[in-house]
Each structure stands twice: as structure tokens, then as C-alpha cells.
Amino acid sequence: MRRHSVRGVSFYNLTSVRILLSPTLRDVNKTGPKASLATWNAGSMKSKISSITDLIIEEKFDILTITESWLNGDQRDDRTIADLQNALPHFNIQHRPRQHRKDGGVCLLSHKGFKVNANTIDNYCSFEYMDSNFTSRTSADAAFFLELLDSAGFQQHVDEPNGTHRHGHTLDLIISRKTTPLVSQVSVLTGMPSDHSPVKCVLNITRPSAVKVETDSRNLKAIDISEFKRDIADLPLSSGPISDLAERYDTGLRHLLDEHAPLKHRTITLRPHAPWYSDELQQAKQQRRRLERRMMKSGSMIDRQLYFEKCELYRNLLDGAKQNYHRDQIENCSDRQLFQLIDRMCKPSSSHTLPDHVSDASLAEEFAAFFNDKVRNLRDKLDNLTPPDISVNVSAHCESTFTHLIMWTMREFGSS
């Protein structure tokens, strides 16, 4: 048997395996704007939702992966998820908490133009893990780790001189297959409220188009009530069967409603929703960018301190503007609007996803067949049941007159 001289591995024993790319990865090298991705170790998401949404809106990310989310996976996360949904209606949110631990957990925020499926992972009795960081690519441990990735056909893209952690280590990595030119333009962002910096990259796949929703609505507030009542009273209803009268009345009401408040069909493009963003925040962000450029150019500790102080000031302004916006909404809404507002702020919207199907007609037929079979099986079970033998002793003598009726007064009835 011949053996390769490098690394002591016999490549002649390896078999080439064909890789089937997902529909998204088949878009590699296609023309058009490319999708962008970022990953960030948040160290708890709950108090950083404003910063997360601001980051996605500013950088126009299509995918954001968050590690150390510290979410619980139950109703305690409703406020956090609802806050994300209100600001990012064009994004899907998926989360997997760490079981029986407060820390850990991963969260994926992805554009609704992407179809994301969660992988099912079996439970294992044991597994291998390692804790690695890059202080220098020339160190023995870093070289061994990169060699391990290379032997498996992977490559590591993050190469930041200052690292991704505040202590200068490179702890946040982006790894991809060598056979697929998927990742490019990797860079590290600063200014987020965590010891870790977000790492962003450009994916060599087409950016999804804007999410559009079709809605039908009527402007019921514009109806003239007095005129509407008069038109209802003038409906031509003659005598006849009750069913015919009800049908004619229903048809007449529909025509009147279409006349007074026509049904309008609209196509709405879902976009980020941050109405609390103001000119003051824009100016603070511009000052933050100027200090960031000065810090990157000089590298001095004084400029670094000034930049991070400005980042903290901007985050405080952002949180304050958001709180003031919601406070004004609560103070200026009616009782009914208040309940709707609180429900929207504290309860995440549930999306009822239909199963995969070729067409709407075939899916409807599958649903109909399922319920037909269910009803037929229930009927078959009822027909095959043997009725129980129930015997009741009935007295042959029955009273035909109220011979034992006693007249009670209200006083006697109340004291009984």
C-alpha cells in the first residue's frame, strides 16, 4: 500500500463523496447583491435587544447568529421575542436554550426570504470538545488547530490582529468548507455591549428579496353612520320564507358595505420598524463613527477610551428614546388600544406554518382526505361497538294527580 509522505495519511484509501448543495447554496456565484451574515457572543440578550436591532438595521444583515443568548426557552422569553418581532417583522427568530442551565443557548435571526430548517440531533452518552483561542497563528496550538480543520476540508476565515475579545484573543470564528467559495470580506465590528465583538462576512449567495404581504382591508371609520342606516332601512325586503329573507338581507348588507367602504387590496413590504430613531441618535452615531476611525488610525489608549465611552452614551440614548416612544404610546391610546399595545409588546406573534406542499390544491386535498378518513374510522368504531345491557326497574304504579302537593309561602321557602 502506498502512503502519502505528508502527515502520514493514505489518501488512496479515501473515497470522493458527492456533496449535494441546498437550494440556497446553489445560488453561489449568481449575480446580484450578496447576503451578509454576522455572529456575536452576546452574554445575555434580554437587556440588549435595542443594540441587536440597531446593529441589524445599520449593517443590513440578512442573518445574525447569537451565542450565549441566556434565554430560557419558555414564556419568560416572550417579552424579548416580541420586542425583536416588533422591530424586525421581516425576520424569523429561532432559539435553542441550554437545558438545565441559565447560561448558554443559541439564537438565529434570519431574513424570511431564507428557508431555515432546524437539524435534529440525537442524544449521545459522551462527546469530545475543546476550548481553543488564537493568540497567534504561529503558536503550536493554533497551527495544530488549523491543520486539523484543513485535514477535514475546512478553513477558518477570521484573521483580526486585535482579536475578537477585549483581551485580544480570537475566540469567535467563521469556518466554511474549502470546496465551496461561500465566505468573503470577513471583518470585526466594535462597540457592542459584550466582551466579544461581532464578526461579519459576506456570503456568496444572492440576498433574498424584500418580504411582501398581501392584505385586504376596509376603511370602516369613513362610513357615514346616518346614511348607512338609511340605506339599510331602504333594503327591498318582501314577504317570503325566513331563509330567503335572511339570504336577501345578507346579500343587501354586503352590497351596501362594498358601496360605503370598498374592499382594498394592498401589498405591504415588511421593513425594519424603529420609529424611536431620531436626529439626535443619528448625530450621536456619526460622532461614534468619527471616534472609531480615529481609534483605528492612532491605536492609542486615550482614543480607545473615548470611543467606548461614546458607544456607551449612544446605547443609553437609544434605550431612552425607545422607552420614551413606548411611554408616549401608552399615554395617548384608548383603553382598547392599550390592551392591544401591551399584548403586542409582551406576547410574541405565533406563525402557523403549513407543511411542505407542491401546490395549495394538493395540500387542501390532503387535509380533506385526512379528516374524511378520521370521520370514517370513528364511524366504523361506533358501528362495531356492542351496546351495553342496561336494565332499569320502573315502578308499575304511577301517580296521575298531585295528591301530595304542598303549598309553601315565600317565608317558609326562604327559611327551609
pLDDT at 215 over 80: yes
Classify 229 as helix, strand or coil: helix
pLDDT tens digits for range 100-122? 888 889 999 999 999 888 777 77
Residues 28 and 89 in one domain: yes
Residues 257 and 283 in one domain: no
Residues 58 and 148 in one domain: yes
Residues 88 and 149 in one domain: yes
pLDDT at 156 over 60: yes
Residues constituting the chain = 416
Confidence (pLDDT) at 284: 95
CA distance from start to end of the chain: 105
Transcribe 282-350 into DSSP letters.
HHHHHHHHHHHHHHHHH--HHHHHHHHHHHHHHHHHHHHHHHHHHHHHHHTS-HHHHHHHHHHHHSPPP
β pairing state of 264-269 and 91-96 = unpaired
180 vs 162: CA distance, rounded Å: 28
Confidence (pLDDT) at 247: 86
Residues 155 and 255 in one domain: no
Residues 80 and 192 in one domain: yes
Residues 199 and 217 in one domain: no
CB–CB of 126/149 below 8 Å? no
Range of the domain at 250: 212-269
Residues 41 and 164 in one domain: yes
The b-or-e profile of 195-205 (16+ CB within 10 A means b, else e) is ebbbbbbbbbb
88 vs 271: CA distance, rounded Å: 7
Q: Is residue 356 part of a domain?
A: no
pLDDT tens digits for range 337-357? 898 889 888 888 875 567 767
Transcribe 23-80 into DSSP letters.
TTGGGTT-SSPEEEEEEEE-S-SGGGHHHHHHHHHHHT-SEEEEE-----SSGGGHHH
303 vs 47: CA distance, rounded Å: 27
**Cα 10 to the center of its chain, rounded Å:** 46
Q: Is 100 left (phi over 0), alpha (psi -120 to 50) or beta?
A: left
Residues 199 and 168 in one domain: yes
Residues 137 and 46 in one domain: yes
Instruction: Point out the least confidently predicted range of 149-153, 217-221, 224-228, 359-363.
Output: 359-363
Residues 101 and 218 in one domain: no
Instruction: Tell me the average pLDDT of the chain.
Output: 84
pLDDT at 273 over 90: no
β pairing state of 106-111 and 63-67 = antiparallel
Residues 60 and 200 in one domain: yes
Confidence (pLDDT) at 155: 92
pLDDT tens digits for range 37-93? 999 999 999 999 999 999 999 999 999 999 999 998 888 899 999 999 999 999 999
Confidence (pLDDT) at 295: 92
pLDDT at 17 over 60: no
